Amino acid sequence: MRSRGGYSPSRAERGLIAAPGYPAPVVFESLTSRLGAVFERLRGRGRLSEADVEAALREVRLALLEADVNVGVTRSFLERVRARAVGAEVAGSLTPGQQVVKIVHDELVTTLGRETAPLAPARVLPQRILMVGLQGSGKTTTAAKLAWRLKSAGKHPLLVAADLQRPAAVDQLEALGARAGVPVHADRATTPPRLAKAAVKRAGELGCDVVIVDTAGRLQIDEVLMAELAAVRRAVEPDEVLLVVDAMTGQDAVNVARGFLERTDLTGLIFSKLDGDARGGAAISAREVTGRPIKFVGVGEGLDGLEVFHPERMASRLLGMGDVLTLIEKAEAAWDREQAEAAAEKMLRAAFTFEDFLDQLQQVRRMGSLGQLLGMLPGAASALGTAEPSDEALSRAEAIIRSMTPSERRAPKLIDGSRRRRIAAGSGTSPQQVNELLRQFGESQRMMKAFAEGRSPLPGLALPGRRAQKMTPKVTPRVASKAAPKVKKKR
């Protein structure tokens, strides 16, 4: 499908709210593994000398620089860590290695921003948000993601297509707005300042309480771009001016952020494409260089791929400590409570079928890629080692199940040799892979049945609680009298 002006929407923009078929690597994966190796050596030492700390900080410095963290930011960060790590705070600790890790975590939170920064409230309704950035940073898509997020929170946003320079930019925003169910104000025959001013007036007529203005970008910061932004800003009088930065631009992202800060009154940052192969150092650097908080990060291709930035959670993930709170939030958003309870009941009755498994699989996929989810579990990165989790196995299992008939999903015993060959051909897999999935599902069904009947699914494993009592032989008074020791009566 190609719209006017040559714009061709992606799969996610055509309706895939989350694009589960594309596995995304763990954010900051390289930096996390490097820091994890450094701190693992520190934890193994009972005492830490100043030389040990200095050696560890040298490796931390290399890890940060390789992750594209700004040199000045790296130097400032290490100076703060060194001042605390070589003092009495670590020397008097019973676990000096853990204490160093805690210091690095605290200073990393300071670098990223101590608090989560919400959007500034509207001084006068509607709330006005101005999106700025270089061309190709993902500004237009991020504007639509932000509108989707605000709409999900009960707001009524209006998107404004004020990028009249890039071909098909207006078409792209209109397509995204249609997918998100958000109105888009556009006028190709006017100027961006007049368009933005008219959009604020129209928002009142439509009952919209948020106006999100997508402005034009350039390949480089220039006078024409900044003059146009200044004119749009005067016309809109925004509550927020958010700079969208591509996380894959590396250390140059700092220069971009500094340039916009000097010429426009930035209030916050949004980093896009953090789910790509970006090293992630730009996000660490830009916050400290500009002094402006990171408010959101883009973590997916779909419209729901925009998350609030939590500095403490990100610092924990960087150090391999996981991010359980974000994992819980993702689960609450993706899982249907009634559907989950029905599936749990079927498991207890040993009536769980491939159709139920497919529903559960789809809900897991809506939470994100396996790599992202495992990255939120404490210690998962070090436990997995070099074994990188992949979504290919989930995609293969889903394809195999979708190639089955409804009766085969409900009763896998119907699947004989010819049916397995048909399922393999339909799913693009081999009969051996179909056999493996059937074998694994059969084992899980046997375990569910054992639990449902109160039996142990594994030899030698006792079940705790009420169901374990069902396995205990019933003792009758007659059996008890026979089992009791006999006592001879005295004459």
Q: What is the CATH number of the domain that holds 191?
A: 3.40.50.300
171 pLDDT more than 70: yes
* Structure confidence at residue 473 as a pLDDT band (50, 70, 90): very low
Binned at pLDDT 50, 70 and 90, residue 178 comes out as: very high
Q: Is 147 inside a domain boundary?
A: yes
Structural domain harbouring 153? 127-319
Determine the residue type at 66: E
Question: Are the CB atoms for 252 and 200 separated by under 8 Å?
Answer: no
Q: Token digits for 44?
A: 């193994």
Look at residue 60 and tell me if it is in a domain.
yes
Q: Which two tokens stand for residue 249?
A: 């631009």
pLDDT-based confidence at residue 90 (cuts at 50, 70, 90): low
Distances 172 to 74, 155, 206, 374, 478 between C-alpha atoms, Å = 39, 22, 22, 34, 83
Cβ(177)–Cβ(211) under 8 Å?
no
pLDDT band, very low/low/confident/very high, at 374 (cuts 50, 70, 90): low
In the chain, % of residues over pLDDT 70 = 71
pLDDT at 286 (0 to 100): 83
Q: Which two tokens stand for residue 324?
A: 């359980």
- Name the nearest CA neighbour of 146 among 163, 160, 162: 160
Based on the domain organization, do 191 and 297 belong to the same domain?
yes
Question: Residue 287 — very low, low, confident or very high, per pLDDT cuts 50/70/90?
Answer: confident
Q: Do 58 and 186 reside in the same domain of the chain?
A: no
**Is the domain of 218 the same as that of 95?**
no
CATH code, domain with 345 = 1.10.260.30
Helical residues (DSSP H) of 237-290, grouped into ranges = 252-263, 281-290
Same domain, 49 and 158: no
DSSP 158: E
Q: Report the C-alpha dihedral over residues 329, 335, 337, 339, rounded to 10 degrees.
A: -170
The residue among 319, 349, 378 that closes a domain is 319
Indicate the burial class of 44 (C-beta count within 10 angstroms; 0-12, 13-18, 19 or more): exposed
Residue with more model confidence, 409 or 23:
409
Same domain, 106 and 142: no
Q: Are residues 310 and 341 in the same domain?
A: no
d(CA 193, CA 176): 22
54 within a domain of the structure (yes/no): yes
Same domain, 283 and 226: yes
For residue 33, is pLDDT > 60? yes
Residue where a domain terminates, one of 62, 89, 112 = 112
Mean pLDDT of the chain: 78
Q: Are residues 395 and 308 in the same domain?
A: no
Per-residue pLDDT tens over the stretch 34-84: 787 887 777 766 667 788 888 888 888 888 888 888 888 899 999 998 888
135: DSSP letter: T
**DSSP-assigned letter for residue 1:** -
Is 81 part of a structural domain of the chain?
yes
Type of residue found at 437: L
Report helix, strand or coil for 238: coil
User: In the predicted model, is pLDDT for residue 26 greater than 70?
Assistant: no
Q: Specify if 178 maps to a domain.
A: yes
pLDDT for 117 beyond 80: yes
- What is the pLDDT at residue 4? 41
CATH number at residue 92: 1.20.120.140
Last-in-domain residue among 80, 112, 144: 112
How is the chain split among helix, strand and coil, in percent rounded to 5? 55, 10, 40
Q: Based on the domain organization, do 146 and 272 belong to the same domain?
A: yes
- Does 3 score more than 60 pLDDT? no
Residue 261 has pLDDT above 60, yes or no: yes
Residue 213 maps to a domain: yes
CA distance 59 to 57: 5
Least confident residue range of 10-14, 116-120, 407-411, 424-428:
10-14
Same domain, 394 and 303: no
pLDDT over threshold 50, residue 481: no
Q: What's the whole-number mean pLDDT along residues 214-242?
A: 88
Of 15-19, 97-101, 287-291, the one with minimum mean pLDDT is: 15-19
* CA-wise closest residue to 128 among 49, 65, 213, 12: 213
Average pLDDT over residues 240-269: 85
Rg over alpha carbons for the chain, rounded to the nearest Å, is 29
Please tell me the total count of domains within the chain: 3
More confident residue, 149 or 489: 149
Q: Are residues 227 and 289 in the same domain?
A: yes
How far is Cα 344 from Cα 410, in angstroms, rounded to an integer? 17
Q: 402-427: string of b/e by CB count within 10 Å (b at 16+)?
A: ebbeeebbeebeebeeebbebbbeeb
- The DSSP-derived string for 284-320 is HHHHHHH-PPEEEEE--SSTT-EEE--HHHHHHHHTT
Write the pLDDT tens digit of every residue in 131-169. 999 888 899 999 999 999 999 999 999 999 999 988 899
Asked whether residue 282 is domain-assigned, the answer is: yes
Domain membership flag for residue 121? no
Say which residues have a Cβ less than 8 Å from residue 300's Cβ, sequence separation at least 6.
Answer: 12, 18, 19, 24, 275, 368
400 lies in the same domain as 343 = yes
The predicted model scores a pTM of 0.66
